[in-house]
Amino acid sequence: MRDDQLPAPQPHACSVLSRELGEPVAGTGAVAGAWLLLEQPGPWGRAAVTESRLDQSLGAELEGRTAGTGIRLALIRRVEDHHEHEPAHRRWYAASTHPKRTWLATGVVAYPTDLLKLDFAALDAGDRRAVDALEHVFLDTPLLGVCTNGKRDACCATVGRRVAVEVEALEAAATAASAAPTASAGLTASAALPASAAPASSGLGADTAPAVWEITHLGGHRFAPTAVVLPSGYSYGRLDPASASRVLASARQGRMVVDGCRGRSTWSRPGQVAELAVRDALDESADGVFAVASVTATAGDPEPAWTAVVEHEDGRAYEVSVRGSYALVPRPESCGKADGTPLELRAGGVDKIR
């Protein structure tokens, strides 16, 4: 199906209802200290790692090695009109999201089983040596993964796909414009191709790695279109092409966008809310300057609450109260599911304690 044939979300779609009900996005990001992504074109099933054209036994092995760790495993594919090709080489990414050990590595493999050479324990710990067994480079530019897995949720296909396509088009146009003067000076046509058009086997570096990818699952379908920025791990919801492009451009400048941010995957859900609350209070967008030092539960069921301490790298520290409440209006948390009342997290006060 072409992108212009994708149906619009129906009035009862989970993302439409969530937006209309004003459900807060803060504190809804995936929780993961590290990410592992593997390129896999073709259709994805609901459980994409084992329901795709990736060898099922390999998918199960990768899931087994990341189970119980802080590593989030996902498949990615290039933003194209179709996904039927079988690449000679697959690109992979490994990322660590902690502010004190943030990095993004990439490489290409001829055999996806080579990914088993990674040191999964080291990756979980944010150790760069996790990728030593594979040919790789460390990137100083971020990537944006936009969830488009319609088998997980229809909203991700109908609205996520449009965002991925349009942001990729903007990226390609910008790359072509910046390369135009050089290309006219005598470079071959292939040298002037945007990064997204380069074959996966053409090299390891950022010049051949697309900045925008489709990704299998980020959680929180009702906030579609959703995306994650790596290596920071900041995830976003209710994006459109303009806001998604702004998120990626800011990440390239070492900054993050608070508006629409679901949280940094490094932190727990209350920690995500607390960090975003401090950023909003201080109007601080620089990446990597905050760390969530502690999160302490202060109340239990039926409505939980927490106190979090967020530290700035300059020594300042802030205490943030976070409270949870169950949504008053039942709604499906994902298309096709029964109505539920998701837990909504909100920040209370932000107090400077140091």
pLDDT in tens, 36-89: 999 999 999 999 999 999 999 999 999 999 999 999 999 999 997 556 667 788
Task: Supply the Cα-derived Rg of the chain in whole angstroms.
Answer: 20
pTM score, whole prediction = 0.89
Q: How far apart are CA 183 and CA 340, in angstroms?
A: 55
Residue 5: per-residue pLDDT: 46
The CATH architecture that domain 1-267 belongs to is 3-Layer(aba) Sandwich (3.40)
Nearest to 130 by CA among 89, 99, 101: 101
Closest-CA residue to 165 (of 144, 192, 193, 139)? 144
Smallest CA-to-CA distance from 244 within 270, 225, 220, 262 is with: 225
Going by pLDDT thresholds of 50, 70 and 90, the confidence category of residue 157 is confident
pLDDT for 205 equals: 54
Task: Give the integer Cα–Cα distance in Å for 77 and 42.
Answer: 8
Helices (H) and strands (E) in the chain, counts: 7, 16
Tokens of 348: 């209370």
Dump pLDDT digits (tens) for 176-225.
887 776 544 433 333 332 333 333 334 565 566 899 999 998 988 899 89
Enumerate the domain spans of the chain: 1-267
Q: Supply the pLDDT for residue 193.
A: 29
Q: Record the tokens describing residue 142, joined without a space.
A: 């971020």
Closest CA relative to residue 156, chosen from 214, 79, 211? 214
**DSSP annotation of 113:** G
Task: Give me 91's structure tokens.
Answer: 């690109």
Strands 34-39 and 71-78: parallel
Residue 154, pLDDT > 90, answer no
| Through-space distance between the first and last CA atoms of the chain, rounded to whole angstroms | 56
Computed over every residue of the chain, the mean pLDDT equals: 88
pLDDT in tens, 320-335: 999 999 999 998 888 8
- The CA distances from residue 266 to 27, 153, 193, 270, 283, in Å, are 12, 25, 35, 11, 21
DSSP 23: -
Q: Is the pLDDT of residue 105 over 60?
A: yes
User: Do 24 and 346 meet the contact criterion of CB atoms below 8 Å apart?
Assistant: yes
Those residues whose C-beta lies under 8 Å from the C-beta of residue 246, and which sit 6 or more positions away, are 257
Q: CA 128 → CA 32, 63, 102, 228, distances in Å?
A: 16, 21, 9, 21
